[in-house]
Amino acid sequence: MPDIRDAVKEDSLNILPPTVERVIEDRTGMAFSYVAGLIPKGDNFRFKRLLFRQTRGNVLTIIHDMEGSIEGFDKKKVDKSLYVVIFRDSETLRNTVMRVCEAVNSEM
C-alpha cells in the first residue's frame, strides 16, 4: 500500500487512497498493523460498532473528526472523519478489518 505522505499532493485530500495499511514490528517479534482512511462523519459510531463485533473486540479504533468539509468527486461538500484501526498482525484479522473498511468506503 502507498504511504500517506506520498498520496497527499497539491494539498487536496480527494486523492487519498481509501485505506492505508502498515505493519509495525517491535523487538519481541510482536507485529501490529494499522489501517487508516476517511469515512463520512455520520458513520463513526456504526463503523466502530461494526469493527468491534466483526473482530470480537480485537482492534483499537481511533476516530478524529476533520475540521471543515472535503469536496467529493461529485463536487459536493462532505464532512469526513479520519479513522485509524490498530490490530495484532494476522491474516484473518487483516482480512476482516479490510472487508469492513471497504464496505464502509463503498457506501460513500
pTM given for the model: 0.71
For the stretch 2-23, pLDDT in tens is 444 444 443 344 444 555 666 7
Residue 48 has a CB neighbour count (10 Å cut-off) of 16
Give the pLDDT confidence score for residue 30 in this predicted structure.
78
What's the rounded mean pLDDT across residues 22-28? 71
Could you tell me the CATH number of the domain that includes residue 38? 3.30.70
For the stretch 39-59, pLDDT in tens is 888 889 999 999 999 999 899
Domain count, the chain: 1
Cell of 37: 482512511
For the stretch 71-80, pLDDT in tens is 777 788 888 8
Which domain covers residue 21, as residue numbers? Answer: 4-106
What is the amino acid identity at position 92? Answer: T
Cell of 11: 494539498
Q: Is the pLDDT of residue 69 over 60?
A: yes
